[in-house]
Structure 1
Amino acid sequence: MNLVSHLLERQLRLPPPITRDVVCEKDLRIPMSDGVELLANRWTPRDGGDGLPTALLRTPYGRGGAFGTGLARPLAERGYQVLIQSTRGGFGSGGTFDPLRQERADGLATLDWLVEQPWSDTIVLFGMSYLGYVQWAVADALPPQVRALIPIVTESALTLEFLRADGRSLEAPVGWGVMVSLQERPFARLRQLTQERRTDRAFRSLPLSSADVAASGVRSAYVQDVLAHDARAPRWAELDHTHRVASVTAPVSSIAGWYDIFLPGQLRDFRLLREAGNPARLTVGPWTHVDFHNTPFTEALDFGLAYARGEEPKPRPPVRLYVGGQDLWRDFESWPPPGYSPSRWYLSSGGVLGAEAAGEPDRYRYDPADPTPAVGGVRLVRGGGAGRVDNTALEARPDVLTYTTPVLTDDVEVIGEVSAEIWFSSSVRHADVFVRLCDVDPAGTSWNVCDGLVSLTSADEVTRADVTLWPTAYRFRRGHRIRVQVSSGAFPRFARNPGSGEPLASATTLLAADQQVHHDAAHPSAIVLPLRDA
């Protein structure tokens, strides 16, 4: 296993370990409050593991492979012992897997058990995505032995952003539901590539209620819930742990990505922590949800271990952001940082983005049978399908409008919350408005910075669509141009709007629509950018 240790050290750019001689005690049985037992593996140095700070990881993805070796081993080699537990109903743990719903009771029971173990002293909660969400589920009732939380690309309400009635996501919640329903089948890892293609085809199912069977051959209760209930439904109320965030007493280090699916909620959680006086800090890098980088391990060692040992971590400003375009890490005192004010950049005739709105409406036709595709950006996919990509082919489509500034004579720095106000009308009542901010380099290549979508239910009248884009930190350099795209979808990141007003799960009618973007003096469509003050 020393070869694996060396490979992980190089791949993750980690400091040398304290020891490479670690052992894994498998299948510890941890009782829950209802008598169900969950299984866990304990990774420790072969000598001297008892009493080290315990990193607790609770995961629905199994205790081996990338999670056991890739997460637990590097921590166990560098000052921790690690308890990695399979959540209820998966990978040998008892009970039935019901995603997101049982993590508070089971998490508290696990902590109660852990503090009673003679080999455990202080505890650090650690993990990304679902492994971060389970930290928030217990965050307001932590025993004093928990000295720090490190939630990574996650947030306290997790799936609710996907289920907004005015902007329903498809790829992330349905794709994840299909993935977890298949992950314990034989050779699941080997089948992953072909499964992804099958799932992609299933996103086009009509009605969408058949997508889970089309993708996996089995019915998924979670996928059916996602399709049938939006974020306002009582079905999801118990999954929202936002109200617990302000009550967290242990220090928190949040790690986020500019192209991560959970970024807005993670920034909200950070603001709640700081407003409550928590010594929280935030790091946001140029990452997507599935990027695997060394920052989580750096925080586990520099931040988590320090607090677990009763020390203060090395001082650092509360907010560290990777500023795109400038391609530098910079420190700030808060999020959003002071010194940035909202500035409107107006859409105008001739595809111009500038100081005032003018001209007749621009038109395009949107056909949900040939939906505008999701290209890069905030997606739960691997490889080059997410993050910052070349938008040339997307912008050549007839269902995508673009508005571009003249060449910039000075740098323009944008840090904070981005939004758009698009005056819009359609030949149908139900339509979506997707807005994307891009950086056009001197060679003419358009690179996406951030974007967002909103659904309208009265689009047959001229309506102002208020679109919330993903936050960003970006410097548009002198010699570049700023561009705004407007379209009516990003499929399959967002569910395609059928135009018929039918419920998402049961819709079978697809209506093509003629869309108009208005930008006259009475309807001043604009993007609102938080610009650095002069």
Structure 2
Amino acid sequence: MKKCLLILLAFSVALPAVSGAAVLKGRVLAAGSGRPVAKIQVGIASTQLPSKIKPYGKIPVRKIAVTDKNGEFLIETDQSCKDAFVFTQSLSHINRLSGNVPFCGREPRYRDLELDGVDALDLSQDAEIEFVLEPAIRSQRTVRIAMSDSTVLYSIVYLPPGNDSWPVLLWRTPYGASIRDFAAEFCQNGYAVVAQDIRGRYFSKGLWVMFRDDAWGENKDGYETAEWILKQEWCNGKIGTFGGSAVGITQLLLAPAAPPGLACQHVLFAGQDLYNQMVYQGGAFRKSLIEGWFKQQKFKPEAVDAVKGHPCYDEFWKGLNVNEKLGSIRAPILHIGGWFDLFTQGQLDSFSNIQASGGEGAKGRQKLIIGPWVHYAIGSRKQGELVFPANSLDPGPVMDQFCWFDYWLKGADTGIMKDPAVYYYVMGDVDDNKTPGNKWRTSDTWPVPAKATKLYLNRDGILAIDKPDKNSGVDTFFYSPSDPAPTKGGQELYQAMGPMDQRSVERRQDVLTYSTPALKEPVEVTGRIKARLFVSSTATDADFTAKLCDVYPDGRSMLLTDGILSAKYRNSFEKPEPLEPGKVYEIEIDLWSTSIVFNKGHKIRVAVSSSNFPRFEANPNTAVNSVYCSSGNPSCVILPVVPPAKAKTK
């Protein structure tokens, strides 16, 4: 970075004072050519800092201007701003702070104010400043990396300015390796980046078959790519991985392979057990998600056949389940997910299982952040049909990925490993700003301490803490595969997502609903939800679904989470067992997890059916299905209730 200072031409010139506010004028030029650079943000921040700050906390920006076609900008300051830090906020250059100082990233952090040479600008009078910026990416080149079976994988290497060696961040994707905008941010922060098309995608050779070659099997593409990186002169010996969704899956599947040099991972919105968390939840095919994704990405027929050809949990899926190889994982991982994400339980299980049972280097070194988000929607308050408070967007500096990477790859004391292991958002009544929910909380463990509380289904539609007192009670409905109950919101991707009002679905004859009376006090539920039902069917196989909803005083029934079980898999996902028509079976539906305070005056509702289409493929059997609600067959939902004294608010 010292070399960068030689080409910086920044200066401050006092101008005649103007009555009222001072005016800051300036321009931004390109290094080397001296040409003006348009559309660069320039900001100012007060020198008056909060008493308590975290080094990686972002400095609050008071005003921002954008350079015009001549590279010029103008900012009018108010009289309260006598001096300030001035800085560029380019997406594609090495940014600068007043005082001729380059800093890492797109926005200055409190730590940057301690860099040698940083100087506040006197704005008690008009002033001028000029910045000369160099590109964040010094070099971009294409390489083709041969795997041990001779399959060639297309990769792009992005290097930051200078001729040093750097920690390297690896991005392995089915969506195309051209990620210059992403790479620029990492190069700004002093990292080299390798982006790769995984096997069979875009410009890479071979056939893609459901991430099989990205794990620890016969082909270990991620492992061999890491080995190649370590041999390059621009790699300093440390590798991190980053990305979300499918790119997060390639990271998690790489973890048990434990390649040399892998020092940390940063995983967003991804599953680690692809049978249960992606393709066959509860043994039922996730039709909308998988068919929608395969169609969008134009996967080859062989890839589709491979997935549909393995409806049971078998060796194919064991090779795609990180839980099978927990002890082999060596890297710390920061896991980020959302309560309405299609991989919610995947992120939670990844954290808790590796935290408890990972190998040396991984065990006890995991972090988890989970907010009220649908898939990849961190930056939005609106989720589904609800608008959460502004605090839902960000739990603080812990969300800054460079806190994580700088700690593990640069040895910087970012403070992230001193923070609690878990940050989770407890949802609440979005119409009541005094609700005890809608807050970030922290914990050292997941799941958090909670009391497993059973609420029993009663024939009159009541959900109660007491068991039914009648010896007989059954609710029956007719299920037809030609008219399945429609999906409305939830943990989806290719249709409406997130919390949505379920009343239009609950009116159907094939949907049973059970609700508590209006709550007299708020009730917090945080953790995994299970529905334990006693059921029968006139068919040899039937599906049973369950939803957990928060019913507002105005009647809205807002979906929180849901689940399904194909009854033939009631004992094992490895071996289906047909039902005996008319026989009563006890089954358990996994609704995954949530965190919410049901507010005073709200109701807790459970809805039971045999379909949720097209979220799940409709069971082909026409049937009369029954749910039993009696003292002898006490169907219930099991909620992890958190006593108020147990909760730790951030």
State whether TM-score is above 0.5: yes
1:399 and 1:323 map into 2 onto residues whose CA distance is 32
Single out whichever of 395-404 and 24-33 deviates more from structure 2.
24-33
1:158 to partner: Cα distance:
2.5
Q: Which amino acid letter does the alignment assign opposite residue 497 of structure 2?
A: A
Q: Which amino acid letter does the alignment assign opposite residue 178 of structure 1?
A: K
Q: Which amino acid letter does the alignment assign opposite residue 254 of structure 2?
A: V
1:289 to partner: Cα distance:
2.5
Q: 1:177 aligns with which of 276, 294, 303?
A: 294
Go from structure 1 to structure 2 and tell me whether the alpha carbon gap of 1:364 and 1:160 turns closer, same or farther (over 3 Å shift): closer
Q: Which residue of 2 aligns with 1:376?
A: 489
Q: Which amino acid letter does the alignment assign opposite residue 167 of structure 1?
A: A
Q: Which residue of 1 aligns with 2:588?
A: 466
Q: Which residue of 1 aligns with 2:597?
A: 475
Q: Is the 8 A contact 1:251 1:280 kept in 2?
A: yes
Go from structure 1 to structure 2 and tell me whether the alpha carbon gap of 1:433 and 1:396 turns closer, same or farther (over 3 Å shift): same
Single out whichever of 117-126 and 143-152 deviates more from structure 2.
143-152
Q: 2:525 aligns with which of 414, 424, 439?
A: 414
2:525 and 2:318 map into 1 onto residues whose CA distance is 35
1:173 and 1:85 map into 2 onto residues whose CA distance is 23
1:7 and 1:170 map into 2 onto residues whose CA distance is 42
Q: Is the 8 A contact 1:431 1:497 kept in 2?
A: yes
Q: SS of the residue aligned with 2:255?
A: coil
2:319 and 2:234 map into 1 onto residues whose CA distance is 34
Q: Which residue of 1 aligns with 2:354?
A: 273
Q: Per-residue displacement from partner, 1:475-511 (whole Å, max 9, x unpaired)?
A: 1111111111111111111111111xxxxxxxxxxx2
Go from structure 1 to structure 2 and tell me whether the alpha carbon gap of 1:3 and 1:109 turns closer, same or farther (over 3 Å shift): farther
Please tell me whether residue 389 in structure 1 is matched to residue 525 in structure 2.
no
Please tell me whether residue 306 in structure 1 is matched to residue 421 in structure 2.
no
1:138 to partner: Cα distance:
2.9
Q: Which residue of 1 aligns with 2:95?
A: none
Go from structure 1 to structure 2 and tell me whether the alpha carbon gap of 1:166 and 1:250 turns closer, same or farther (over 3 Å shift): closer
Q: SS of the residue aligned with 1:497?
A: coil
Q: Per-residue displacement from partner, 1:318-356 (whole Å, max 9, x unpaired)?
A: 111111111111101111112x01010011132111123
The aligned runs of 1:309-320 (5 Å cut-off) are 309-314=410-415, 315-320=418-423
2:639 and 2:538 map into 1 onto residues whose CA distance is 30
2:38 and 2:199 map into 1 onto residues whose CA distance is 32
Please tell me whether residue 51 in structure 1 is matched to residue 165 in structure 2.
yes
**Percentage of pairs with the same residue:** 32
Go from structure 1 to structure 2 and tell me whether the alpha carbon gap of 1:394 and 1:165 turns closer, same or farther (over 3 Å shift): closer
Q: Is the 8 A contact 2:106 2:188 kept in 1?
A: no
**Structure with higher helix content:** 1
Please tell me whether residue 91 in structure 1 is matched to residue 212 in structure 2.
no
1:140 to partner: Cα distance:
3.5
The aligned runs of 1:108-507 (5 Å cut-off) are 108-121=223-236, 122-143=238-259, 145-161=261-277, 162-163=279-280, 166-181=283-298, 220-276=301-357, 277-291=363-377, 293=379, 298-314=399-415, 315-325=418-428, 326-338=437-449, 340-358=450-468, 360-381=473-494, 385-456=496-567, 457-458=578-579, 460-499=582-621
1:426 and 1:141 map into 2 onto residues whose CA distance is 44
2:134 and 2:211 map into 1 onto residues whose CA distance is 35
1:357 to partner: Cα distance:
4.1
1:99 and 1:516 map into 2 onto residues whose CA distance is 37
2:90 and 2:626 map into 1 onto residues whose CA distance is 54
1:155 to partner: Cα distance:
2.9
The gaps in structure 2 that reach 5 residues or longer are 1-36, 42-88, 93-104, 113-132, 358-362, 380-392, 429-436, 568-577, 645-650
Q: Per-residue displacement from partner, 1:169-199 (whole Å, max 9, x unpaired)?
A: 22222322222226xxxxxxxxxxxxxxxxx
Go from structure 1 to structure 2 and tell me whether the alpha carbon gap of 1:530 and 1:292 turns closer, same or farther (over 3 Å shift): closer
Q: Is the 8 A contact 1:40 1:85 kept in 2?
A: yes
Q: Per-residue displacement from partner, 1:258-281 (whole Å, max 9, x unpaired)?
A: 122222233222222221333111
Q: SS of the residue aligned with 2:186?
A: helix
1:448 to partner: Cα distance:
0.8
1:2 to partner: Cα distance:
7.2
1:515 and 1:4 map into 2 onto residues whose CA distance is 63
2:458 and 2:369 map into 1 onto residues whose CA distance is 37
Q: How many pairs does the alignment contain?
A: 476
1:369 to partner: Cα distance:
0.3
2:370 and 2:286 map into 1 onto residues whose CA distance is 23
1:283 to partner: Cα distance:
0.9
2:254 and 2:592 map into 1 onto residues whose CA distance is 27
1:101 to partner: Cα distance:
1.4
Q: Which amino acid letter does the alignment assign opposite residue 618 of structure 2?
A: R
Go from structure 1 to structure 2 and tell me whether the alpha carbon gap of 1:69 and 1:399 turns closer, same or farther (over 3 Å shift): farther
Q: Which amino acid letter does the alignment assign opposite residue 224 of structure 1?
A: D
2:91 and 2:557 map into 1 onto residues whose CA distance is 35
Higher relative contact order (CA 8 A, sep 6+): 1
Single out whichever of 103-112 and 24-33 deviates more from structure 2.
24-33
Q: SS of the residue aligned with 2:247?
A: helix
Q: Which residue of 2 aligns with 1:77?
A: 188
Q: SS of the residue aligned with 1:171?
A: helix
1:261 and 1:55 map into 2 onto residues whose CA distance is 26
Go from structure 1 to structure 2 and tell me whether the alpha carbon gap of 1:50 and 1:98 turns closer, same or farther (over 3 Å shift): farther
- Provide the TM-score with structure 2 as the length reference: 0.68
Q: Is the 8 A contact 1:41 1:85 kept in 2?
A: yes
1:58 and 1:297 map into 2 onto residues whose CA distance is 24
Q: SS of the residue aligned with 1:139?
A: helix
1:346 and 1:141 map into 2 onto residues whose CA distance is 45
2:560 and 2:458 map into 1 onto residues whose CA distance is 21
Q: SS of the residue aligned with 2:293?
A: helix
2:317 and 2:520 map into 1 onto residues whose CA distance is 49
Q: Is the 8 A contact 1:290 1:380 kept in 2?
A: no
2:140 and 2:350 map into 1 onto residues whose CA distance is 35
Q: Which residue of 2 aligns with 1:21?
A: 135
Q: 1:521 aligns with which of 600, 619, 631?
A: 631
Single out whichever of 325-334 and 145-154 deviates more from structure 2.
145-154
Q: Is the 8 A contact 2:90 2:106 kept in 1?
A: no
1:426 and 1:231 map into 2 onto residues whose CA distance is 22
Q: Is the 8 A contact 1:436 1:448 kept in 2?
A: yes
The gaps in structure 1 that reach 5 residues or longer are 183-218, 500-510
Go from structure 1 to structure 2 and tell me whether the alpha carbon gap of 1:49 and 1:440 turns closer, same or farther (over 3 Å shift): farther
Q: Which amino acid letter does the alignment assign opposite residue 422 of structure 2?
A: V
1:455 to partner: Cα distance:
1.5
Q: SS of the residue aligned with 1:259?
A: coil
- Provide the TM-score with structure 1 as the length reference: 0.82
Q: Which residue of 2 aligns with 1:201?
A: none
